[in-house]
C-alpha cells in the first residue's frame, strides 16, 4: 500500500470517527436537553411565582427569613398572642421567620427558643437547639433549658462593668443559679413536665414538617437555605394529613408539659379526617380554639393553623391523651 493510499485511509477513519461522535451527540443531546429543560422550566416557574408574590417581596424588604413570617403576624394581629417579656418556644423554627417575629414582639426582656432537626443560623435574639424533637431526650433537654426562667434572656449591658472582668461575671452567674435553686429546687430533682398545669412557657409555636432527606453534597445549601428541605409535601393528601397530625400531637404533648396556665398554642396542620379529633383535644385544654388560614397562606395550600388560647390550669393529662392510659393498662 503506497503513501497516498495510507493517507486516504487515515482521512476516512478520521471522518468516520467524527461522524460517529456527531451521531452520538445528535442522538443523546435531545434527551439531555429535555431533562435540563424540564428541570429549568420547573425552577423558572417557582422563581416567577416567588417574584410575583407580594409577601415574598415584602419579606425580603423587611429581612425576614421567609414569607411565612406574615402568617404569624396576621394571626397575632387577630388574636393578640404576644406581649413584651414572654417566653416562647418555636418548634420546627428553621429557617427562622416565626422566631424573628416572636423576638420582635416580645422585646424587651422576652426569650425565644427555636428547636429544629435542620441546622440553621438563629435570628438575632433567638436561642436555638438542633435535634429531632420527636426524641424524648431532645424534649427533656429543651425542658431542662426552660426551667430557669432567666435563661436565654438578654441581660442588660450595664450589669457588668469592663473593670469587673470575667471573674465577677462568673460569680454573679453562680449567685443567680443558687438563688434559683433555693426557690425552685435543682433541675435534676424536678419532674419531667409541668405536672397538671405548671409551666414556664407563655406560647408554644409549631410549624413542624418532615424535611426532605439530605443527599449528595447539599449540606452547605441546606445550612444556608434550610427552607429548601422544609415544607415539602408528598403530594398524597392522606399521607400529608396523617404526618401533620402526628407532629401536632407531639407538639401538644410538649405544650401540656411546659405551658403556663393562660398560655397559648399555635400549630400548623393539613386538613383531613383527623383534625376534628385533634381540635376536641385542644378544646379540653384551652378556653378558646380557632382555625385560621391567613391571607399570606397560598390559596392552593391545604395548610391551616389551630390557634388555641388561654390554657386551662386544672386539666388532667389523661383527659387530653387517653391513649397513654390505655397503653399503660396493656403493659400492666
Query: What would the mean pLDDT of 106-134 be, rounded to a whole number?
Result: 93
> Which residue do the cell numbers 409549631 mark?
206
| Predicted pLDDT at 151 | 87
Cell of 170: 462568673
Query: What would the mean pLDDT of 105-112 be, rounded to a whole number?
Result: 95
DSSP per position, 99-131: HHHHHHHT-SS-EEEEEESS--PPPTTEEEEES
pLDDT at 161 over 80: no
268 is catalytic: yes
Buried/exposed 287-309: b ≥16 CB within 10 Å, e otherwise: eebbeebbebbeeeebbbbbbbb
CA angle 69, 75, 81 (to 5 degrees): 105
Chain segment 254-269, per-residue pLDDT in tens: 999 999 999 999 999 9
Give residues with Cβ within 8 angstroms of 105, minimum separation 6.
76, 82, 83, 84
Orientation angle between helical segments 275-285 and 237-258, nearest 10 degrees: 10
CATH top class, domain 55-331: alpha beta
Share of the chain above pLDDT 90, in %: 43
Cell of 13: 477513519
Among residues 237, 260, 268, 312, the one annotated as catalytic is 268
Contact 273, 292 (CB under 8 A): no
Chain segment 179-235, per-residue pLDDT in tens: 545 554 544 444 344 443 358 999 999 998 765 454 455 444 444 444 443 445 445
Sign of the alpha-carbon torsion through 239, 240, 245, 247: positive
Which pairs from 327-332 meet CB under 8 Å and 24+ separation? none
Q: Taking all residues of the chain, what is their mean pLDDT, rounded to a whole number?
A: 75
**What is the DSSP secondary structure assignment for residue 226, as one 8-state letter?**
G
pLDDT at 243 over 60: yes
Rounded distance, CA 199 to CA 312, Å? 12
| Predicted pLDDT at 240 | 59
Amino acid at each position: 500500500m503506497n503513501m497516498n493510499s495510507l493517507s486516504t485511509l487515515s482521512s476516512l477513519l478520521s471522518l468516520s470517527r467524527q461522524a460517529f461522535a456527531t451521531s452520538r451527540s445528535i442522538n443523546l443531546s435531545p434527551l439531555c436537553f429535555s431533562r435540563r429543560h424540564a428541570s429549568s422550566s420547573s425552577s423558572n416557574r417557582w422563581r416567577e411565582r416567588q417574584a410575583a408574590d407580594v409577601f415574598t417581596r415584602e419579606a425580603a424588604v423587611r429581612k425576614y427569613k421567609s414569607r411565612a413570617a406574615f402568617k404569624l403576624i396576621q394571626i397575632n394581629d387577630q388574636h393578640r398572642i404576644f406581649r413584651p417579656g414572654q417566653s416562647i418556644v418555636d418548634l420546627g423554627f428553621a429557617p427562622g421567620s416565626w422566631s424573628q417575629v416572636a423576638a420582635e414582639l416580645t422585646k424587651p426582656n422576652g426569650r425565644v427558643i427555636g428547636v429544629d432537626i435542620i441546622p440553621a443560623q438563629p435570628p438575632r435574639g433567638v436561642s436555638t437547639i438542633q435535634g429531632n424533637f420527636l426524641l424524648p431526650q431532645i424534649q427533656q433537654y429543651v425542658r431542662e433549658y426552660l426551667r430557669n426562667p432567666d435563661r436565654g434572656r438578654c441581660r442588660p449591658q450595664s450589669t457588668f462593668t469592663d473593670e469587673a472582668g470575667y471573674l465577677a461575671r462568673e460569680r454573679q452567674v453562680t449567685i443567680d443559679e443558687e438563688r434559683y435553686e433555693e426557690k425552685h429546687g435543682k433541675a435534676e430533682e424536678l419532674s419531667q413536665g409541668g405536672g397538671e398545669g405548671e409551666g414556664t412557657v407563655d406560647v408554644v409555636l409549631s410549624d413542624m414538617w418532615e424535611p426532605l432527606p439530605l443527599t449528595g453534597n447539599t449540606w452547605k445549601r441546606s445550612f444556608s437555605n434550610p427552607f429548601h428541605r422544609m415544607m415539602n409535601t408528598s403530594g398524597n393528601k392522606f399521607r400529608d394529613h396523617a404526618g401533620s397530625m402526628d407532629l401536632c400531637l407531639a407538639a401538644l404533648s410538649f405544650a401540656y408539659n411546659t405551658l403556663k396556665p393562660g398560655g397559648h398554642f399555635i400549630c400548623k396542620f393539613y386538613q383531613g379526617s383527623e383534625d376534628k379529633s385533634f381540635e376536641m383535644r385542644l378544646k379540653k385544654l384551652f378556653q378558646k380554639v380557632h382555625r385560621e388560614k391567613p391571607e399570606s397562606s397560598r390559596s392552593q395550600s391545604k395548610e391551616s393553623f389551630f390557634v388555641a388560647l388561654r390554657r386551662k390550669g386544672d386539666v388532667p393529662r389523661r383527659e387530653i391523651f387517653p391513649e397513654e392510659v390505655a397503653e399503660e393498662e396493656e403493659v400492666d
